[in-house]
Amino acid sequence: MSPEPLEASYRALLRIPSLARVVLSMQLARIAQSMVGVALVLFTLLEYDSAPLAGLVTFASVIPGLVVSPIAGALLDRHGRVRLVQIDYVVAAGALVLVGGLSMADALPPWLLVLIAAVSSLTNPLSQTGLRSLFPIMVPRHLWERVNAVDSNGYVIAVIVGPPLAAVMVSTLGPAIGLVLIALPMVIAALMLIGVREPHTETASTGNLLLDAWQGLRYVAHNPTLRGLGAGMTVLNLGQGILSIVVPLLILEGMGSTELAVGVAFAVSGVGGMISAIVYGRRDSRGREWRMLWVPMLGMTVVGLLMLPVASGTAGSPVGYVLILGAMTVSGLLNGPVDIALFTIRQRRTDPAWLGRAFAVSMAINFAGYPIGAAIAGTVAEASLEAAVLLSVLAFAGSALLSAWLVPRTDPRDERVGRDGPVSRRET
């Protein structure tokens, strides 16, 4: 008698113990995190009237966390994920309250603001990596595409909701009070995780934290798939970082439009990403991840090409804005399959005993291209918006070539994993 087929649906996710609570907590925290990025910039500009300081604060709020991500990954593998995710939420909330409170007391010099931002960033990988490495442990393999779609859309929803909400709070309540109130959803997110128990998994640990972190780096370096993803995704995010600066410049300076028009452009991209993630999340991606990575990356060159007439001045408003909206829609639609393929292939080709360390290092490497791209775009766009857009086109094309070349089409681990779950003893 053949076994009953496993239900592969979004509804099936709701029957997994505590998963709905974890997802809701994640969504609250991600909305708050997306608000922080905008609110910190607005806070710095309004309180100190310094664009360079705003850039430094943004840098300090990201880079230290990327640097210590191998250590964060080692902690996640050794001590579990839920508690460490809660710690990051509490630290982030405390930093926001501290900055807001010191500002209201007129006791926040610029150096202290940068220091608080840098210290609070050190725990960021605990929640970012902790949640992403928790899902493949909690969720059966036949539902990985579904939960990865939920994970991907969690970021999309945060991008759509968080920045406009942060801008409204800062403008109506003031920058200091706005920051303090953003801490509230972080605290709620931490409280929601109380009592969540994660399944037991094997851990390959030496007992030495720094050595475990170093071995995590070595694991990623010697894993062909993670190494290939690092190259392709870093260059892809380089292009995305360029667009994060170019799109507002094209709309505000190139066409003389408003901040609302900028928000609509990014919201359109978010909606496109949400739709495509849901659609691709319903499909079994086994054996298709390689194409789902590099083909959409190559398609993203269209995004820059659509913006070129606006950057060169040959397409003014409103035609130029329609082109930008079209480009951002394409960008969102193509992001969905890339996210699903990235999350799923990384889960399938990483030993569960190394999930924390491998994901922490991989995610840090992949994201590093974004701030670098934004920094490059700021310099290049000052001289030529057209050159900056062309640079994004080259980055997208390069990411597709690198992914197609360096990410293995198949892996022995794929063949050992059936739809019902793993075959090897270590992955039981």
Q: Which of 137, 170, 201 is the last residue of a domain?
A: 201
* φ/ψ (deg, to 5) at 341: -65, -45
Contact 194, 30 (CB under 8 A): no
**Residue 52 to residue 246: CA distance in whole angstroms:** 18
Q: How confident is the model over 1-8, as a mean pLDDT?
A: 51
Cβ neighbours around 17 below 10 Å, total: 11
Q: Mean pLDDT highest for which of 2-16, 100-114, 136-150, 192-206?
A: 100-114
Res 412: pLDDT:
64
Contact 103, 163 (CB under 8 A): no
Residues 132 and 253 in one domain: no
Res 231: pLDDT:
93
Q: How confident is the model over 228-253, as a mean pLDDT?
A: 86
**Residue 32 to residue 127: CA distance in whole angstroms:** 13
pTM of the model: 0.74
Res 2: pLDDT:
41
In-domain check, residue 10: no
| pLDDT for residue 4 is more than 60 | no
Res 7: pLDDT:
62
In-domain check, residue 404: yes
Tell me, what CATH number does 182's domain have? 1.20.1250.20
Residues 119 and 247 in one domain: no
Res 201: pLDDT:
66
Q: Which H or E run contains 422?
A: strand 421-422
Q: Which of 201, 232, 261 is the last residue of a domain?
A: 201
Residues 240 and 146 in one domain: no
In-domain check, residue 128: yes
Altogether, the residues listed in the chain come to a count of 428
Least confident range from 198-202, 237-241, 376-380: namely 198-202
Query: What would the DSSP string read from start to end of 181-211?
Result: HHHHHHHHHHHHTTT--PPP------S-HHH
**Residue 81 to residue 75: CA distance in whole angstroms:** 9
Residues 158 and 230 in one domain: no
Residues 43 and 191 in one domain: yes
Contact 266, 321 (CB under 8 A): no
Residues 282 and 380 in one domain: yes
In-domain check, residue 66: yes
Residues 197 and 55 in one domain: yes
Structurally, the chain folds into a number of domains equal to: 2
Residues 285 and 387 in one domain: yes
Residues 353 and 237 in one domain: yes
In-domain check, residue 2: no
Residues 149 and 248 in one domain: no
Per-residue pLDDT tens over the stretch 150-204: 887 787 788 778 777 777 787 788 888 988 999 999 999 999 999 888 776 666 5
Q: How confident is the model over 117-140, as a mean pLDDT?
A: 86
Res 363: pLDDT:
84
In-domain check, residue 243: yes
Residues near 221 by beta carbon (within 8 Å), at least 6 away in sequence: 227
Residue 427: DSSP 8-state = G
Dihedral of the alpha carbons of 351, 352, 358, 362, in degrees to the nearest 10: 90
In-domain check, residue 391: yes
Residues 183 and 65 in one domain: yes
Asked, as a colleague might, if the bond just before 318 is cis with ω within 30 of 0, I would say: yes
Per-residue pLDDT tens over the stretch 138-158: 888 878 788 887 887 787 788
Q: State the residue range of the domain holding 282.
A: 223-410
Q: How confident is the model over 26-55, as a mean pLDDT?
A: 79
Residues 124 and 188 in one domain: yes
One-letter amino acid for residue 132 of the chain: R
In-domain check, residue 252: yes
